[in-house]
Structure 1
């Protein structure tokens, strides 16, 4: 391992809680070319993709690590099937519209996972004294300053095991369990990228930036599922209308949009990309094998966040103009996509359900 070029106390290091976007752009315009020149000198024989393939072949995981992730992925799948079976009965007895019968279990499962996952991440970033990555992003590289590979915090091992298992499960679930949507293939790719990012950051021991990435994402996923569940549950086939679900759904939708902009767009740039595209260049090991690939994946995830924000912005605009419900306009069976009114969609769903029952 080649030690970091500087340490946190070096006066040349720009260290703030949240980087100014304009200043950050100037810093990255210097740090990235600097890293390219330095890495070319450190690994002059690097040839893409041959060298990358050789590096990937050097990855070694213990049997315990592999079996733990696969075991947890199987547990998540079985737990989700159990929830799905129980809620399918519940949706029938509680007069949920047929077109929501599959969506309710899916959203409920994702809310459970993302909710618990984000609470763990919140505890790590706000309550663990040795981890201060959110308030001081560059501090995630402090343990590397001595030139030795630091020990991994036990909570990082737990976070990485559960998150890796979830994305292994999600690859399967996207194809066989989730409702198919316009961006399902993008989600499929996203799960592979997330899993690869977890693996490579774990191998290089860059787990603190990985945990910060997850912290900035999982809360909006949980809030989105609250919005969707409120929409699915507020109106029933027996004529009942639960107004508190209407208020809950609209509040959650507004919160979701705000969280997305702050966490996934602003803080992602001014904290995570600041700590990686700038800070890691000078404060992390100079010869980390997978640093360039991890950087590319972080940028791809940011582009995905921008792409999905397009759906959010369109939804906000439609709700503001028409007063309609904040329906997920990625789905093939919604009013926004199909052009059919909700009554027609409900009739189609009811007929499909009857055919399946027969």
Structure 2
């Protein structure tokens, strides 16, 4: 089926896990990706998704343990030591004990005693290190995937402000290799996120996040199998854009760069509103009005045509539910923005509050 694209010595049952399945001939006059390989869709695509989930889990741990955590621990420990040294020096000056060089002296000599980090401070630093590392992986993933998604979007005829090409000439099959790879890796990421949500300690917005991820996965899988991939690609690019900036803002906060945190969060607020409450609503309105008008085929699965009133309305209603969840989140974001404006600084209402157990332990 796709053995000519895979390493020849691999057993046939391994091939779907390491290469794209269902290669086919390219369309006669493609309107995008003129020089790419083309594929159809099928259940074996799930094998490739499984591999992507495993690779993402490994990459996440490598980035977290070997890059993000060491850097955050070094930065926070260094900040604590500098703060402690400054505190000791101030206390020495207050006591009026000066050495020959005009600096504060100490009972045991010129070197100030080194303060041992308290368990409370150690727990606080450890928690910030873990949170910083978690958000660091999100920044890496969303930056890379948005860049790739933007490349896909630029090669497709669809545009955010004129989305009618998402529905014209439906179904848009077969799929170009880059587009198929993008769809499968995105699906793998959200499945991976569900695993992470259930593996880590629950946060305040656990239910909303789970609902969001489940609806997103349903929409992605349905649009993939029903050949509505162009609208799916546009939505994913819009969503991933502002998902880069929220974790960056959190990372700044965890290592004590509060001004940079507030600036980044302000940019995140603007990008969220534009992408998710302007462009995304344009997509929903286009799906509501343009889709039924421009799609001229019916339900003929053998030809890759999966349009029916029920299936299409379900798709549109799920988009609306997704927008409602995002409106709720936007309300939380606006509350954080008010804290920035009022000088209290940005803090995350959505997902980074400590659990009651953590608070009690401190």
Q: Which residue of 2 aligns with 1:109?
A: 137
Richer in helix (by share): 1
- Map 1:201-350; keep pairs closer than 5 Å: 201-234=223-256, 245-270=257-282, 272-284=283-295, 285-287=297-299, 288-289=307-308, 290-321=311-342, 323-331=343-351, 333=353
Structure 2 CA distance, aligned partners of 1:95 and 1:195?
37
Q: Could you report, residue by residue, the CA deviation over 1:187-224 in whole angstroms, capped at 9, with x for unpaired residues?
A: 11211111111110011100010011111111111110
State the 1:328 CA deviation: 0.5
State the 1:252 CA deviation: 1.2
State the 1:168 CA deviation: 1.1
State the 1:94 CA deviation: 2.8
Which structure would you say has the larger Rg?
A: 2
Q: Which residue of 1 aligns with 2:164?
A: 138
State the 1:320 CA deviation: 1.5
180, 187, 197: which is aligned to 1:157? 180
Q: Could you report, residue by residue, the CA deviation over 1:256-315 in whole angstroms, capped at 9, with x for unpaired residues?
A: 111111110111112x11221111111124441532221121111100110100111111
Q: Could you report, residue by residue, the CA deviation over 1:120-154 in whole angstroms, capped at 9, with x for unpaired residues?
A: 1222223x1x423324200122232xxx6632233
Structure 1: segments with no counterpart, 5+ residues: 1-59, 235-244, 339-343, 352-358
Structure 2 CA distance, aligned partners of 1:134 and 1:155?
20
TM-score normalised by length of structure 1 = 0.68
Q: Does 1:81 align with 2:107?
A: no
Instruction: Report the 3-state secondary structure (helix = DSSP H, G, I; strand = E; otherwise coil) of the residue aligned with 1:333.
Output: coil
Is 2:204–2:353's contact at 8 Å kept on the other side of the alignment? no
When residues 331 and 165 of structure 1 are mapped into structure 2, their CA distance, relative to the original with a 3 A threshold, is closer
State the 1:330 CA deviation: 2.5
TM-score normalised by length of structure 2 = 0.67
Instruction: Report the 3-state secondary structure (helix = DSSP H, G, I; strand = E; otherwise coil) of the residue aligned with 1:102.
Output: helix
Q: Could you report, residue by residue, the CA deviation over 1:213-248 in whole angstroms, capped at 9, with x for unpaired residues?
A: 1111111111101111111122xxxxxxxxxx4443
Is 1:124–1:131's contact at 8 Å kept on the other side of the alignment? no
Aligned residue pairs total: 263
Q: Could you report, residue by residue, the CA deviation over 1:36-81 in whole angstroms, capped at 9, with x for unpaired residues?
A: xxxxxxxxxxxxxxxxxxxxxxxx8332x11100100111112112
Q: Could you report, residue by residue, the CA deviation over 1:102-129 in whole angstroms, capped at 9, with x for unpaired residues?
A: 2111100111111111111222223x1x
Structure with the larger RCO, 1 or 2 (CA within 8 Å, 6+ apart) = 1
Instruction: Report the 3-state secondary structure (helix = DSSP H, G, I; strand = E; otherwise coil) of the residue aligned with 1:132.
Output: coil
